[in-house]
Every structure is written in structure tokens, then in C-alpha cells.
Amino acid sequence: MAQINNFFENYLKQESFFVNREILLPSYVPEEILYREEQMREIANILAPALRVEKPSNLFVYGKTGTGKTISVRYVLHSMSKVAAQNNLPLKCVYINCKLKRVADTEYRLIAQLSKEFGQEIPSTGLPTDEVYNIFYKLLDQHKQIVLLVLDEIDQLTKKIGDEVLYNLTRINTELQKSQICLIGISNNLVFAENLDPRVKSSLSEEELIFSAYNATHLQEILRKRAEKAFKEGTIQEGVIEKCAAYSAREHGDARRAIDLLRIAGEIAERSGSSTVKISHLDEAEKKIESDKIISSAINQPKQFQSVLYATLLIALQKKNFFTGEIYEVYSNLCRQTKLNVLTQRRISDVLAELDMLGIINAKIISKGRYGRTRDISISLEENLVIKMRELLEKSLQLSS
């Protein structure tokens, strides 16, 4: 008990590195966006007619993750709606992220969410889809207005449910009497539009804009700018920001992840009682991010996934590579122990494919000739991560042994 008290007291006494940690969180919007002036001007140009209550061209924004697409679009829209509000213009900006689970990842939910933005709650189930469309139409057409609709991560949406929704949305304008709607799609996937219905494609990408990745210099400036505000002066050792930028530029060019990396390095340094943030903390942060990602993706999976994963981990104790059939064996025994229903091998095959996608296991389809075709599976994690994962899964599956 005394120990705990001491801990808290020390914790309080210890000075924090951060002046304002929030600045390094992904949700923070800086008041100035570096190296994106050109793109933002472009966006503004394209969307400007909305202020004259004319429908702007539909816009399509491409670019990899963390290249500032979302933030730039939101920034422009934000200032537009400010101007619109001042001049009393009928402009409405709606931002929807299509990837959010249980919010906008199906046709029904997307339209329901849109209606919600217009102040009309729609039950999460129970209504037919076209009914929801009708409600939405009516809402839109209540009075004359221009609607700028941003669909972020639009590729995720079409990957899941096809492009019918988009077709409907592009067609809305012909049905509306008073209002006009302008679509702004944001996609991480550069070749996303390729496999889209040609009609949708042409009407959706009347204008296109491509965001290229930041290079190391850009990232460095961005990081420095944020770090200045977030950290206390002199807490970051020389070279840390440079290293962080260089690493991120080489690996992914993703500004968000670079900032995350810096923040976590700071947290690690703080916790370890070091006086400054050093390069070694960066390396540690890198590892932590990697393993956290994997662990949380495993823990957030349903029970059946976890059972399959646990079964694979069990086999991995004995040998390095193994096959679908073996996992199924172990898995079904496991289920019998835990009183979980045993799923078919067909299903397990899919589960394994998904675990592969998540990067938790390595699976390669091989042919063993006369002895059939199967996945050649191995664990792609470090040993201590495997052990940690096993403990967590045991807890989560409530295994006693």
C-alpha cells in the first residue's frame, strides 16, 4: 500500500515532458497545415461555386494514408462554412467516414447517418432501405441549399457493399427540386476508381486531386512544429525528430503515424524516468506500436477467432510450420473443452485467411502434390509477443490450464 502511495507521489513530483499532449493525438487539427497550400487552394477553387449557391463539380481526392487528405478537405470546408454562416448562405457540409464500424459501413447505415446529420434520427434497424432513402430525400429538399458531402475512405465502402450506393447518390440531384448535393470522395487507394461502374466513375470524378506522400524534410518540419508546442523546451534530444522523420518517410510517408511515434516515444521516456527523449526511445516506441497493433487486433476479434488463434499458438509450440487440417484438429478439441460450438472447416479456412491478412500469422497456399493442397502456416511474431498473446487469449477464453 505504501508503495502505491509512493508511486503516486513520485508520479506527481516527476515533471512531465509534455506541455500539451493533445497536440500529438490524431484528433488534433493544427491551425496551419504545412506543404498543402497548393492542394487546398485547388480544393477551394473547385468548391467555391457552392458559395454562389451553385453546385460545384464532384471531387475525388486520392492519396495514401497520412498525406493530409482528410485534414485539408475538412479545413477548406470548415472555412467555407464559416464564410457561409457569416453571409447567411444555405450551405451545409457533411463529413462521413465510411470505415467506422456500425456507423456508416453499409448502404442503410450510411443513409441513416446522413439523415442524422440533417437532424432526423433513424432507427438502426426495422425499416426497409428505400424508406430510409425517402426520408433522406425529403430532408434534403426541405429548403433550397447546397450540400457538400464528404465521404472519407470511400474505397472501404465500395469494397464491402459495392457501388450501388454511390450510383444512387450521384443520381439524387435529378430527383431533388430545390437542393443540390456535391460529392467529395476521399480514397486511400489510388486505383480505386478502376473497378467502379463507369457511370459512377465519370460523374464522381469530375475533378480529381492527388496527394503525394510527404518526404523526409516535410515530415521533419511538421514534427518539429508540433513538437514545439507539445513538448517542453529542451526535452527532446538532438536528432530524435530527424530520425523519426527519416524513418517514417522511408517506411510509409504517413504523417499521422510519425506523430504517433513521437508521442509514444515521449511517453516511454517519461515513464522510464529519463531526463530527455532519446533515439533509443524511438526504437522502443516503434516496437511498442507494432506489438500493440497486433495484440489489440487479436483481442478485438470474436471468440471463434481467438480460439483458432490459440490453437495455432499451441501447435506453434511444437513445430514451426503446419497446415489447416492440423489446426482444425486442435481447434475442435479446444472447442469441446470450452463448450464452444465447433465450426466447419470451411469457416476456419476463412478465419485463417483473415488472421493472415491481419499479419498475425503467415499463411501461404502450397500444394503438397499427391498429399493435397493447403495453407502452409507459421507464426510471424516474436517469442515474447507470442507468450503475451497466449496469456491474453487464455484469459479471454477463460481457460484454466
Partner DNA sequence: AGGTATTCACATGAAACTATTCTCTGAGTTAGG
Partner DNA sequence: TAACTCAGAGAATAGTTTCATGTGAATACCTGT
Q: What is the DSSP letter of 192?
A: G
Q: Does 276 bind DNA (CB under 7 A)?
A: no
Q: Which residue, 47 or 379, is less far from DNA as judged by CB? A: 379
Count CA atoms closer than 13 A to 254's CA, side-chain side.
11
Strands 322-323 and 180-187 turn out to be unpaired
Binding string, 116-135, against DNA, x = CB under 7 A?
-------xxxxxxx------
Which listed range, 10-18, 233-241, 336-344, 389-397, lies at the site for DNA (CB under 7 A)? 336-344
* Contact criterion met (CB below 8 Å) for 58 and 204: yes
How many chain residues interact with DNA (CB under 7 A)?
A: 39
Listed in sequence order, the DSSP H helices in 87-230 are 107-117, 129-140, 154-161, 164-175, 198-204, 216-230
Looking up cell 425517402 gives 134
Q: Does 250 bind DNA (CB under 7 A)?
A: no
User: CB of 348: closest distance to DNA in angstroms?
Assistant: 7
Q: What is the DSSP letter of 213?
A: P
Q: Does 29 bind DNA (CB under 7 A)?
A: no
Q: Does 369 bind DNA (CB under 7 A)?
A: yes
Name the grid cell of 345. 472447416
How far apart are the two ends of the chain, measured CA to CA in Å?
31
Taking alpha carbons only, the member of 16, 15, 41, 19 closest to residue 226 is: 19
User: CB of 107: closest distance to DNA in angstroms?
Assistant: 6
Q: Does 370 bind DNA (CB under 7 A)?
A: yes
* Contact criterion met (CB below 8 Å) for 151 and 186: yes
Q: Does 368 bind DNA (CB under 7 A)?
A: yes
Q: CA-CA distance, 265 to 192, in Å (whole number)?
A: 35
Looking up cell 443513409 gives 111
Q: Does 341 bind DNA (CB under 7 A)?
A: yes
Judged by CB under 7 A, the residue of 27, 177, 344, 401 near DNA is: 344
Judged by CB under 7 A, the residue of 30, 162, 325, 359 near DNA is: 325
User: CB of 374: closest distance to DNA in angstroms?
Assistant: 4
User: CB of 386: closest distance to DNA in angstroms?
Assistant: 22
Q: Which residues contact 167 (CB under 8 A, 6 or more apart)?
A: 197, 199, 200
Name the grid cell of 274. 529519463
User: CB of 186: closest distance to DNA in angstroms?
Assistant: 21
Which listed range, 42-50, 70-78, 104-112, 270-278, lies at the site for DNA (CB under 7 A)? 104-112
Q: Which residue, 107 or 267, is less far from DNA as judged by CB? A: 107
Binding string, 51-80, against DNA, x = CB under 7 A?
------------------------------
From the number of C-beta atoms within 10 Å of its C-beta (0-12, 13-18, 19+), residue 127 rates as middle
Q: Does 300 bind DNA (CB under 7 A)?
A: no
Q: Contact positions toward DNA, by CB under 7 A?
A: 102, 105-109, 123-129, 302, 304, 323-326, 341-347, 349, 352-353, 365, 367-375
